[in-house]
């Protein structure tokens, strides 16, 4: 019988990436169970609302991550999601002042590089999910990687390479138990925060 994720992430032989994946799995499952993405992306208004929420989450957390991530991940600027979200929101009809005035989530605690890597794990994981969501908005809203769905397309054909690079940075930085624990705790806190933010308008 396969081990439950709650048991798996205590295995010191796992890669840090696998450790964080196992630790956040319950939060991931809970969020997937609450969000009906096909319904959200069935109308332009619903899709725009999702982008607005993602912008409101990414804006403060990218600022926090950027203060601490440089020592471990030199290409963080290439991983920022705000430029993509701004362009997608503009396609959906939002002006720049309206985007900047959107409500922002309270970011999770982020005090050192290991915390920042844990927070970024959640944002980088969204790039993998975006590949499955992009065809949904293409079919329902006729939006594409180059027009209105840049956030979902993220790194395009480079998603796998960027994910591997992030995993390598995690392993290199979180080689001791203290750093790995901080990264794991930050990832779980970030996923829980994202779920609460995206579901704030759901009953």
Which residues are bridge partners to 144 per DSSP? Answer: 147, 148
Chain CA centroid to CA 102, Å: 18
Q: What is the pTM of this model?
A: 0.89
Token pair listed for 159:
């998603």
Integer Cα distance of 165 and 117 in angstroms: 12
Distance of alpha carbon 66 from alpha carbon 123, whole angstroms: 13
From first to last of its 203 residues, the chain has per-residue pLDDT tens of 233 333 334 455 579 999 999 999 999 888 888 888 888 889 999 999 999 999 999 999 999 999 999 889 999 999 999 999 999 999 999 999 999 999 999 988 899 999 999 999 999 999 998 998 999 999 999 999 999 999 999 999 999 999 999 999 999 999 999 999 999 999 999 999 999 999 887 64
Q: Which domains does the chain have, with CATH numbers?
A: 38-198 (1.20.910.10)
H or E segment and range at residue 69: none
Terminal Cα-to-Cα distance of the chain (whole angstroms): 36
- DSSP class of residue 175 equals -
């Amino acid at each position: 019988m396969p081990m439950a994720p709650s048991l798996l992430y205590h295995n010191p032989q796992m890669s840090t990436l696998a450790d964080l994946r196992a630790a956040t799995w319950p939060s991931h499952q809970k969020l997937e169970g609450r969000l009906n993405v096909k319904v959200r992306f069935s109308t332009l208004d619903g899709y725009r609302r999702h982008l607005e929420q993602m912008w409101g989450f990414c804006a403060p957390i990218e600022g926090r991550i950027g203060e601490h991530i440089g020592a471990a991940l030199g290409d963080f600027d290439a991983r920022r999601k705000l430029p993509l979200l701004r362009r997608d929101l503009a396609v959906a009809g939002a002006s720049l002042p309206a985007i900047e005035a959107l409500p922002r989530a309270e970011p999770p605690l982020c005090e050192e590089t290991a915390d920042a890597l844990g927070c970024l794990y959640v944002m980088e994981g969204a790039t993998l999910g975006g590949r499955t969501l992009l065809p949904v908005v293409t079919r329902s809203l006729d939006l594409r990687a180059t027009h209105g769905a840049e956030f979902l397309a993220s790194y395009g054909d480079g998603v796998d390479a960027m994910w591997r690079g992030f995993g390598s940075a995690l392993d290199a930085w979180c080689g001791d138990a203290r750093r790995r624990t901080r990264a794991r705790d930050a990832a779980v806190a970030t996923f829980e925060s994202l779920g609460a933010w995206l579901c704030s308008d759901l009953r």
